[in-house]
Structure 1
Amino acid sequence: MVEEKEGSGPSKPAGETSPQLQEPLGHVKKSKQQVSEGFTIKAMMKNTVVRGPPSAGAFKERPPKTTVFRKFYERGDLPIALDHDTKGNKIAWKVEIETLDYNSYLPVFFHGLCEMTFPHEFFARQGIHDMLEHGGNKILPVIPQLIIPIKNALNLRNRQIICITLKVLQHLVVSADMVGRALVPYYRQILPILSIFKNMNVNSGDGIEYSQQKRENIGDLIQETLEAFERCGGENAFINIKYMIPTYQSCILN
């Protein structure tokens, strides 16, 4: 006979558990820690403001840099001077334009397309038009040297500079025979910026858009320039324009 020790309870049969340890089958014990509603994701989402993706900056202007044209002008290496008459300012050439070395001077003037201050911007732009008007067969061999300054001017994304560069391009393709065809291989350098700004037209409703009268509407100028490229670029011009600007519609085929 086994004596029970004083203070100890009755012995339990083997396999029997204490009543307080028994729980129903499938019962999951709840955690004593409870998350307040104020800290739940659902509650936090109520006052959350979702920030959109950052701007790509496709239309943002780039700061201009010091150009080769400015360096040449300030050193006195360009045969030009400012002349005033009753019609305004004009360039006084110190030599006959036809006698200029176009391989040296025409690319320098094209670099001046990035200039925005007087008199540099005036000399560069007017000088380009004067040289294109009198250049003849001297222009075609210089085309490869003009692509980088044209691209640099367009990449500034300055509305005024883009408009001026587009007018220069329109003059360039008609300045001499085969110039338009010579530009076709360089469409990939010239046309990307035109593709970005192609649809930038000002809708003034019934009002008068004076920029159209001054030919300063970027969308219209780009359309005019692309049509000039197609007309002067030969049979491969349209397919190359279409590759870079899919929304362009032919002015010849249509």
Structure 2
Amino acid sequence: MIGYDVTRRINNPRFRSWSMPSDKYLDANLLSRRDIVKDNKRQQILFRPRIHSLRRVPAFTIQTEQYNTKPITPALGATHRHREVHFLSRPAPPPPDENLKKFLRLYEDRQFPIRITSGGSWRNNQQTRSLEWQVDPNQLKAYDKRELLRRFAVGLPVEKEPYCLIAVQGFKDLLSTAHGAQMLAESLTDVVPSIRKGLNSPRLWKKLEMLELLRQITEMAGIGPLLVPFYRMILPPLRVGKATRVSTDISTSDRDRLQNSIDKTLMTLEQTGGPNAYINIKYLIPEHQSFYK
């Protein structure tokens, strides 16, 4: 806040108002009735120079003919980020992938007893890779396997190679061990949010990968009914209206593959979720029709 010395009179103003008579006409009675503080404050505001705020507008438009405007060129659009010329500014960088950062930190700290090996076959001009365990996962303790399962779940929505391979393959390997269903049931609160992020991915292959993993999880003993409370988190990305949130350059066959995978997943959820599965699926996906009627 700007401070004003309201006790100091302004010397030689440009004009005098009737509320402020000249010094030679002042007498003691008039000075006693005047509020010098208010008069000085009023004069400071009155004689303050008027500052016009310039509004930046796009160059070569009709808006440049308006008063108190300043044209802005595309070269300046990157530095002056204003609401009216936001189309001239640089696009905002994408938000950082927190799952990738966290999973990369775990991988660099050697929290996973695995390593990547290159196979002899080639696919899409790239040599295939596989996951090799340095310790037999079946011989790990139950606590260690549960912690590893949660760490692998962090990387499920990751799309960067080879971390996506490490996360998904390591997660599946732990599910195939003894007491895998029990470990998964204890870690659903950590696994389901990661699957939800993977289903929200705009990439088709990541969606298909998460749908396949979700079917594998649902078919495990006792997991289907436990997933019913998590339908509010899992099913919104599977809505038919939202199923087109993929790249527009994919072919019709790829869209059909995605829709068929969604139908298989919903059928598996309805089959293994118990008597309340269909009601919850129908509530979240109104266009869903039961496969068993």
Paired residue secondary structure (2:235): helix
Q: What does 1:148-227 align with in structure 2 at a 5 Å threshold? A: 148-174=193-219, 176-195=220-239, 196-198=241-243, 209=253, 211=254, 217-227=257-267
Matched with 2:172 is: 129
* Structure 1: gaps spanning 5 or more residues: 1-61, 202-206
Larger radius of gyration: 1
Matched with 2:98 is: 66
Matched with 1:86 is: 120
Distance, in Å, in 2 between the alignment partners of 1:193 and 1:65 is 19
Paired residue secondary structure (2:130): strand
Contact 1:150 1:165 in 2 (8 A): yes
Matched with 1:234 is: 274
Paired residue secondary structure (2:135): coil
Letter in 2 for 1:69: F
Q: Please, what TM-score do these two structures have when normalized by structure 2?
A: 0.56
From 146, 149, 168, give the equivalent of 1:106. 149
Matched with 2:38 is: none
Query: How many residues get paired?
Result: 183
Deviations 1:129-149 (A, max 9, x none): 212222243222222221221
Shift of 1:93: 0.8
Instruction: Quote the RMSD (CA, aligned, Å).
Output: 2.6
Relative to 1, partners in 2 of residues 1:64 and 1:157: Cα closer, same or farther, differing over 3 Å?
farther
Relative to 1, partners in 2 of residues 1:198 and 1:117: Cα closer, same or farther, differing over 3 Å?
closer
Letter in 2 for 1:114: P
Relative to 1, partners in 2 of residues 1:118 and 1:107: Cα closer, same or farther, differing over 3 Å?
same
Paired residue secondary structure (1:86): strand
Contact 1:112 1:125 in 2 (8 A): yes
Bigger Cα displacement from structure 2, 107-116 vs 186-195: 107-116
Letter in 2 for 1:139: L
Shift of 1:227: 0.7
Matched with 2:288 is: 248
Q: Do residues 141 (structure 1) and 186 (structure 2) align?
A: yes
Shift of 1:190: 0.9
From 160, 170, 181, give the equivalent of 1:117. 160
Letter in 1 for 2:284: M
| Greater fraction strand | 2
Contact 1:69 1:108 in 2 (8 A): yes
Distance, in Å, in 1 between the alignment partners of 2:105 and 2:252 is 41
Deviations 1:219-247 (A, max 9, x none): 11111111111111111111110100011
Distance, in Å, in 2 between the alignment partners of 1:232 and 1:63 is 37
Structure with higher RCO (Cα < 8 A, 6+ apart): 1
* Structure 2: gaps spanning 5 or more residues: 1-93, 122-127
Shift of 1:153: 2.1
Bigger Cα displacement from structure 2, 126-135 vs 163-172: 126-135
Relative to 1, partners in 2 of residues 1:149 and 1:200: Cα closer, same or farther, differing over 3 Å?
closer
Relative to 1, partners in 2 of residues 1:208 and 1:165: Cα closer, same or farther, differing over 3 Å?
closer
Relative to 1, partners in 2 of residues 1:104 and 1:79: Cα closer, same or farther, differing over 3 Å?
same
